[in-house]
Amino acid sequence: MQKRPQVGVIGSVMYAPRHPEQAYLEESLHAVVQQALRDANMTIEEIDGIVVAGNDQLDGRAISIMMASGSVGGVGRDILSTPSSSEHAFVLGALRVRSGMYKTQLVVSWNPAETADINETQRLSNDPYFHRALPLDDLASHALQANALEAQVPGLREAALSITVKNRHQGAVAYPHLSAFPQERVTIAGGKMLRWPLTAGMVSKSSFGAVAMVLASDEWIAEKKCKNVAWLHGMGWATETAFLGDRDLATVPSLAASAKQAYAEAGITQPKQAFDLAEVADATAYQELLALEGLGLCERTQWVKATETGEFAAAGTLPTNLSGGAISYNPIFCSGLMRIAEAANQSRGCAGVHQKAGVRRTVAHGASGFAMQYNTVVVFGHEPKEITQ
């Protein structure tokens, strides 16, 4: 039986401009792709296929792939688009390499800052008869989720504030030019109430950003003698029902299913001991804690204590979101791919100023849709996965 190719990340770049108001989307996409190719020591001619993830509503235009094709090198080249989420673009790119039909893939996603009112855009994209009148946007769904969790876990609000402070401080290290958000606990807690119980200080506004990753097969990596590779050990993805009234917002069964799939593929039976760090979805601090539970890394009965003892801080037993996460920098649509790229760079030893020493294995989690409707889990290792017969 023919061995299925292993997949490695050989290039990964996040584009976070200092002056987003001066950045043009097409130029930014070209810039991030060229940086990722240089990181992988490749040219666009060596890319077999491209997967892009863009959202028409957020882009403010129809068929975003038409705008992106020229900038990312897709003219005359195999290119696909997935509008559901940026993390799904990574899954699609990885599956294409695994199929054996492609040796290399370029994965690109972005979040523009051109929409005048992103909350209104999200509201108008909802079901016109039930959801639109609420009005429901990302922030409202996050607040509903936070309320459901606070009703079940005593002391959770203080833990959420601690997570927010942690991520803001870590974000100030990783992306100092983007750390304009408050870092003081009293300011975060006492800010304007947006949607109860979320204050303005607990969330980040939508930001301009782009991500590009280069994936390659083990055959290509060996032939080209690539260095600094993050090897894909396992991945999983699942989806919740769209209608919030049919869900228990205090739980995320699709995340547990995604983690189970990824861990089975990676051969992980004890996730608490498996990872050197985690990069997880954290549009709010409540989501970060939900993600850690769904990944099997911390039960909710331990959330408050683990936060108090600093388990998820940079010097803790499981550093979480050393990049600062979306709480510090939130290009909404490509935030999921950014979590994957950050985890990959940590495994590659290429995360820059926020690199953790001695990283061997990482886990990344991306969530999209209202109240974490879509969930994707990716496991990376510094070495190729051991293949057992």
Which residue reads 């699942």 in tokens? 238
Question: In whole angstroms, what is the distance from residue 24 CA to residue 179 CA?
Answer: 22
Question: In whole angstroms, what is the distance from residue 180 CA to residue 201 CA?
Answer: 11
Predicted TM-score (pTM) above 0.85: yes
Q: Count of alpha carbons within 13 Å of 77, Cβ hemisphere only?
A: 24
257: amino acid identity, one letter = A
What DSSP string describes 223-235?
Answer: HHT--S-EEEEEE
* 339 close to 364: Cβ distance less than 8 angstroms: yes
Question: In whole angstroms, what is the distance from residue 202 CA to residue 191 CA?
Answer: 8
Residue 14 has pLDDT above 90, yes or no: yes
Low-confidence winner among 92-96, 171-175, 180-184 (lowest mean pLDDT): 180-184
pLDDT tens string 365-380: 999 999 999 999 999 9
pLDDT tens string 88-103: 999 999 999 999 999 9
Q: What percent of the chain has pLDDT over 90?
A: 78
Question: In whole angstroms, what is the distance from residue 101 CA to residue 148 CA?
Answer: 46
Higher-confidence position of 375 and 388: 375
Q: Which pairing describes strands 361-368 and 277-279: parallel, antiparallel, or unpaired?
A: parallel
The percent of the chain in helix, strand and coil, each rounded to the nearest 5, is 45, 20, 40
* 239 close to 254: Cβ distance less than 8 angstroms: yes
pLDDT tens string 99-155: 999 999 999 999 986 777 788 888 877 777 666 777 788 999 999 999 999 999 999
Question: In whole angstroms, what is the distance from residue 283 CA to residue 389 CA?
Answer: 41
Residue 268 has pLDDT above 50, yes or no: yes
Residue 389 has pLDDT above 60, yes or no: no
> How sure is the predictor about 34, in pLDDT bands with cuts at 50, 70 and 90?
very high
189: amino acid identity, one letter = A
The enclosing H or E element of 27 equals helix 25-39
Question: Considering only CA atoms, which of 343, 364, 363, 375 is closest in space to residue 237?
Answer: 375
> Looking at residue 170, what DSSP letter applies?
H
pLDDT tens string 323-332: 999 999 999 9
Distances (CA, A) of 320 to 124, 150, 163, 257, 346: 34, 21, 10, 21, 12
Model pLDDT, residue 177: 82
Residue 13 has pLDDT above 90, yes or no: yes
Model pLDDT, residue 1: 45
* 50 close to 77: Cβ distance less than 8 angstroms: yes
> How sure is the predictor about 180, in pLDDT bands with cuts at 50, 70 and 90?
low
Question: Helical H runs in 175-302?
Answer: 185-189, 218-224, 253-266, 285-294
Domains and CATH numbers, the chain: 7-116+207-224 (3.40.47.10)
Question: In whole angstroms, what is the distance from residue 210 CA to residue 16 CA?
Answer: 7
Question: Considering only CA atoms, which of 175, 365, 374 is closest in space to residue 288?
Answer: 365
∠ CA 323-317-354, rounded to 5°: 25
Backbone angles phi, psi at 297, to 5 degrees: -105, -20
Model pLDDT, residue 2: 61
> Looking at residue 9, what DSSP letter applies?
E
Backbone angles phi, psi at 47, to 5 degrees: -90, 120
